[in-house]
């Protein structure tokens, strides 16, 4: 019995280490380019991080979008930012990260900073993302977020863990 428990414990530890080993790869393939392309207004680069099977739901807007609809939303938003003369930046922090084999669940808090000639404004929300490895590359399969009726704030953001 002790031997079986030891084997089970060792197996669980190995699975935890494998899952944790996927986080740097996910950060490099998804989150770091996500943040950069978002801030750069790079529609093509941003959408390349998503599976063609993506389901996007900005829950505050009560919408569900496929890849083409999401692409158009991102394109219009980036064009509006250029016309309006404001810039965006994004920071992500995490409350839960689970990755095994070719699937991952990422949950956290985002902080978007809008910079205009009048100054800066921050907005916050909780995101849930499902990632899937496609042809050896992590892609966003499901992306949903919400401000939870404006209740997510800087304290929630700071309470979450930074990307490591």
Q: Is the pLDDT of residue 128 over 50?
A: yes
Mean pLDDT for all residues in the chain: 91
Q: Mean pLDDT, to the nearest integer, of 123-148?
A: 98
Q: Enumerate the domain spans of the chain.
A: 23-162
Residue 18 has a pLDDT of 43
Query: Can you tell me the distance from the alpha carbon of 129 to that of 127, in angstroms, rounded to the nearest whole number?
Result: 6
How high is the pLDDT of residue 10? 43
- The C-alpha atoms of residue 58 and residue 53 are separated, in whole angstroms, by 16
36-70 residue pLDDT tens: 999 999 999 999 999 999 999 999 999 999 999 99
Residues in CB range of 69: below 8 A, 6 or more apart: 56
CATH topology of domain 23-162: Nuclear Transport Factor 2; Chain: A, (3.10.450)
Residue 3 has pLDDT above 60, yes or no: no
pLDDT tens figures, 85-120: 999 999 999 999 999 999 999 999 999 999 999 999
Q: Say what the pLDDT of residue 20 is.
A: 55
Residue whose C-alpha is closest to residue 110's, from 95, 91, 87: 91
**Residue 21: predicted pLDDT:** 87
Q: Are 70 and 44 in contact (CB under 8 A)?
A: no
Nearest to 145 by CA among 129, 127, 123: 127
3-class DSSP state of 6: helix
């Amino acid at each position: 019995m002790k031997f079986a428990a030891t084997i089970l414990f060792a197996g669980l530890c190995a699975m935890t280490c494998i899952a944790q080993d996927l986080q740097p790869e996910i950060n490099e393939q998804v989150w770091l380019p996500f943040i950069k392309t978002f801030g750069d207004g790079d529609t093509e680069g941003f959408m390349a991080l998503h599976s063609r099977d993506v389901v996007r739901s900005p829950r505050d807007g009560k919408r569900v979008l496929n890849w083409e609809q999401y692409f158009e939303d991102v394109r219009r938003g980036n064009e509006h930012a250029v016309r309006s003369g404001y810039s965006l930046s994004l920071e992500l922090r995490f409350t839960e990260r689970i990755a095994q084999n070719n699937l991952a669940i990422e949950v956290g808090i985002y902080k978007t900073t809008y910079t205009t000639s009048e100054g800066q404004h921050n907005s916050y929300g909780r995101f849930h993302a499902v990632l899937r490895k496609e042809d050896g590359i992590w892609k966003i399969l499901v992306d949903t977020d919400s401000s939870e009726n404006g209740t997510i704030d800087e304290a929630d953001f700071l309470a979450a863990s930074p990307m490591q």
